[in-house]
Structure 1
Amino acid sequence: MLIKYLSLSIVATVALCSFQSIDPALAGGGNTVNQTDVFDGMGSGGKPTTRTRNSKSAIENPTGANVHNDIQIGVNDSCKKSKNTNNTSHSGSVGASVSANVDVCNPIYNLPATRKR
């Protein structure tokens, strides 16, 4: 019987402590910053692009969870010659900063045999 009460008290203590640690994160007042940039460079004649993006924010909030999601996507047809740079600074938050560059080789622009047609 004593083991049963000890087990219940340990489970109750663990549950109570876990709710107390989660509670501030679930409290109201949190902020979410979503910033997305998409660039379509398809059909540019195979000309490479270099894109530099500066994304900044500052969150000042003493309660709640502060999250940022910063995404930069570039689609080009310059056969791996285009570049994306995503400079981010989001103070006071946690999250993801992602930069993706899809740069395909379009045969119309990149093969010598088809350029003269």
Structure 2
Amino acid sequence: MTDPKATHFTDRYSEFTTDQQTYTDDAYHFDENNDGFSDYEVADPDFNVQYFISNLVIRWEYTPGSTLYVVWSQGREGYAPQGDFSFKEDMRDLFAVHPHNVFLIKLNYWLSL
């Protein structure tokens, strides 16, 4: 960011050329003044997050206006800090994770007075 209040959008920032940036040791290094030494270092921002959420709802109307609901919900989540897994491997790893299960029962009974 060089001039955040500049009139023209392209004057607000300056881009690094490919000669000014390198990637080593899981970090990006930037040489702003082209002196051969890194002026800035940014950790690799790449990551991978996956979720698998499933729900099952059973509804039974045992008398007119009165219902019974049974709900089961399961959630699994996985995180890879470098995002270097293929999709197929991620899904296998995701099903190896211990799930978070929720089981609910709701009963509605219609009162007529």
Give the TM-score taking structure 2 as reference length.
0.27
Higher relative CO (CA 8 A, sep ≥ 6), structure 1 or 2? 1
Question: What TM-score do the two structures reach when normalised by structure 1?
Answer: 0.27
Highest CA radius of gyration, 1 or 2?
2
